[in-house]
Amino acid sequence: MLPRKPGSRVLALFMIGAFVAIILIIKGIPSLLKPTLLQQVQASGTLVVATRNSPTTYYEGAEGPTGLEYDLARKFADSLGVELKVVVPDNINDIFRSVEKGKVHLAAAGLTVTEARKAHVRFAPSYQQITEQVVYHSQRDKPETVASLGNGVLEVMAGSSHVDRLQQLKQQHNLLNWVEHDDVESEELLQMVNSQVIDYTVADSNEVALNQRFLLELRVAFDLSAPQQLAWAFASSQDTSLYDKASEFFWKIHNNGELAQLIEQHYGHVAKFDYVGNRTYLQHIATRLGKYQTLFQQASAEFGLDWRMLAAMGYQESHWDPEAVSTTGVRGIMMLTRDTAVQLGISDRLDPHSSIYGGARYLAEIRDRFPPEVEEPDRTWFALAAYNVGYYHVEDARNIALALNKNPNKWSDLRTTLPLLTRSKWYKEAPHGYARGWEPVRYVEGIRRYYDLLHYQTRDLPDPYDDHGALSIMPSVL
* Greatest alpha-carbon span in the chain: 127
Q: Cβ distance 430 to 400 under 8 Å?
A: yes
Catalytic residue among 185, 317, 395, 445: 317
**Distances in Å between the alpha carbon of 207 and those of 16, 135, 201, 276?**
66, 11, 12, 20
DSSP, residue by residue, 23-35: HHHHHHHHHHHSP
Q: How far apart are CA 453 and CA 476, in angstroms?
A: 10
What's at 177, amino acid-wise? N
Q: Cβ distance 49 to 67 under 8 Å?
A: no
What's at 367, amino acid-wise? R
DSSP, residue by residue, 338-370: HHHHHHHT-S-TTSHHHHHHHHHHHHHHHHHHS
Please confirm, yes or no, whether 217 is among the known catalytic residues: no
Q: CB atoms < 10 A from the CB of 80, how many?
A: 18
In eight-state DSSP terms, residue 46 is E
Paired residues of 61 in beta bridges: 64
Q: How far apart are CA 245 and CA 231, in angstroms?
A: 14
In eight-state DSSP terms, residue 418 is G
| Run of H or E including 38 | helix 37-44
Relative to beta strand 46-50, strand 106-107 is: parallel
Q: How far apart are CA 405 and CA 153, in angstroms?
A: 52
Q: How many CA atoms lie within 13 A of 182 on its CB side?
A: 8
Active site residues: 317
